[in-house]
A and B are shown apart, each in its own frame.
Chain A
Amino acid sequence: MTLILDRLRTVNWRDHVVYFAFALVFVYFAITQSDYFLTTSNLTNVIIQAAPITVMAVGTVFVLATGEIDLSIGSTVAVAALVTAKVLESTEAWPLAALAGLATGLVIGLVNGLFVTVVRLPSFLVTLATMGLLVGVARQLTDLKSVPVLDDSFVWLFGGGKILGISIMVWWTLLVVLLGWHLLRQRRFGAHVLAVGNSPAAAQVTGIKVNRVRLKVFMISGATAALAGILYSGRLQGARYTLGESDMMSVLAAVIVGGTALAGGKGAVVGALAGSLLMAMINNGLILAGLNVSQQMIVRGVIILIAVSLSLRAKKSN
């Protein structure tokens, strides 16, 4: 009992700002856009719109918590989506197509991870390079042409399906967030991720295989980016080299707003979900308020700046 009280006392309330912000923005739009915002279809729409970002955000939580960064997720989305669509087109076997897409993400993550752990380059540089490389691959893969996705099962499972009347996108979001939360909060792996992000030297001397942890987080990041690409291709019923091209900033914003430390050692999967929904809600509200795309980008940029400043200030005050 006293231990539980102790535990509550050590909760850092600043880590949970995202939930207050979420509530605040929710209430604000509910009042100002009262005729449309609160409808079930609009709210589900927010979650569906956010689904690929949420999925990627979960992977990015692991990367940032380890003290690394993966800038290549946006272009991984396009490459994985195109590979999936091409395999589906030629084999007409949707499970094979989905696995091929996922494997693409895992391989990209592995390559990023190997450059970071074996060649010992900063992940910022490695993933900046692979990002550019993958943009090229995505454009080359189909000569800038889109590839249609027509398989009904695939489109149901990764796009328009419903289970118990709830969009499959919501289920994917739930599944990935739950898995991510379990891995980070309940497994030894999660504890090692946070230790490596906090102090690689301390992790090393206690026998944690630091490089193996780093390799794994890049593979998780590649896999979630690939899943996001698969979800895009299912929802849009086709893949294009432009998929995911503006997602990296949204993902980083969602994750950092959600309470994951940019400098490592701290990660919040549920916070990242809240961050992602918050960003989607703001987007949604801004569209309803009649702002154009450029104005939306400006508002998003301002939010990211504020979030990053808060994140780094919190780190310094430690």
Chain B
Amino acid sequence: MTQSSPLALRGITKHFGAVAAIERFDLEVAAGEIVALVGDNGAGKSTLVKIISGLYQPTDGEIVLNGAPVTFRDASDARSHGVEVVYQDLALVDQQPVYMNMFLGRELVKGPFRTLDRGRMANETQELVTELDVRIPSPYARLSDLSGGQRQGIAIARATHWASGLVLMDEPTAALGVAETAKVEETILRLKERGAAVLVVSHNLEQVYRIADRVVVLRRGRQIGTRSIAEVEKNELVAMITGLVQ
């Protein structure tokens, strides 16, 4: 069923001048699958996510979504193809209410004057956060009044709402405490249950073992290997990441 997987990358390569940030990267992520992307600092993980989300154009290679090859001019182009990203530094506006963040750039309007439909945005937000079990005081709460975990929950809920089956995450829990991380991991697992394909960058191997089905290792832009979580020992994973055999 190669044709229908939500994301397929074929020979993705990215050069920044003389620096090869990504070299011939191949990956497929199936619906309902969580793939973790691991590697040392500067390995090229964020670069890969930025390529899939339209922020960078690949030097070479092909991105295939649901069987159709695509090229993105910019982030909003990728977004219109249903590619959603959750960033570590939360791409949210903290002085706006939760519902506004949920619909940022895609606000709902009503009537002949196309005025903002705040009520409907708030209601849909409430439904969505209830479904994903992200606990917030109210969709009208200002984002700056929420905890880091709640905010990341909102970011994930937003991505889920707009994604057409594929959600990318770049270190979604890097800024969170233990309890909040657990909560966000629950949310990620709920996405999987809903049948989303998730590609998540993580530095935390414990986390990778908790949530991922497969893991891809990058080292200095090179794809060292792709393993099923059930079949890879942590030692081996560390060796692949660092290049040192223990």
Contact = CB atoms under 8 A, between A and B. Distances in A.
B80 A207 contact: yes
Interface string A191-219: 11011001101111111110000000000
A265 B93 contact: yes
A198 B96 CA distance: 8
Contacts of B90: 202
A12 B138 CA distance: 15
A126 B55 CA distance: 29
Nearest to A202: B91
A159 B127 CA distance: 53
Given A7-B138, A182-B115, 9 more contacts: A3-B138, A6-B137, A186-B116, A191-B96, A191-B100, A198-B93, A198-B95, A202-B104, A205-B55
A188 interface: yes
Contacts of A207: 75-76, 79-80, 105-106
A41 interface: no
A201 B138 CA distance: 25
A294 interface: no
Contact of B104 (A6, A185, A208, A265): A208
Interface residues of A, number: 31
Contacts of A188: 107, 109, 114, 116
A208 B96 CA distance: 15
Given A198-B93, A318-B144, A205 B122 contact: no
B95 A265 contact: yes
Interface in A47-102: none
A67 to B, nearest CB: 11
9 contacts: A3-B119, A7-B140, A186-B115, A191-B104, A195-B93, A202-B104, A204-B75, A207-B79, A318-B144
Contact of B115 (A3, A10, A187, A203): A187
A235 interface: no
B97 interface: yes
Given A3-B138, A187-B115, A318-B144, A194 B105 contact: no
Contacts of B105: 192, 195, 203, 206-208
B16 interface: no
Interface string B96-114: 1100100011110100011
A240 interface: no
A195 B104 CA distance: 8
B142 interface: yes
A6 B93 contact: no
A222 to B, nearest CB: 25
Interface string A1-20: 00100110110100000000
Interface in B129-161: 137-142, 144-145
B86 to A, nearest CB: 10
A194 B94 CA distance: 11
Nearest to A185: B116
B140 A6 contact: yes
A199 B116 contact: no
Contact of B114 (A7, A10, A187, A266): A187
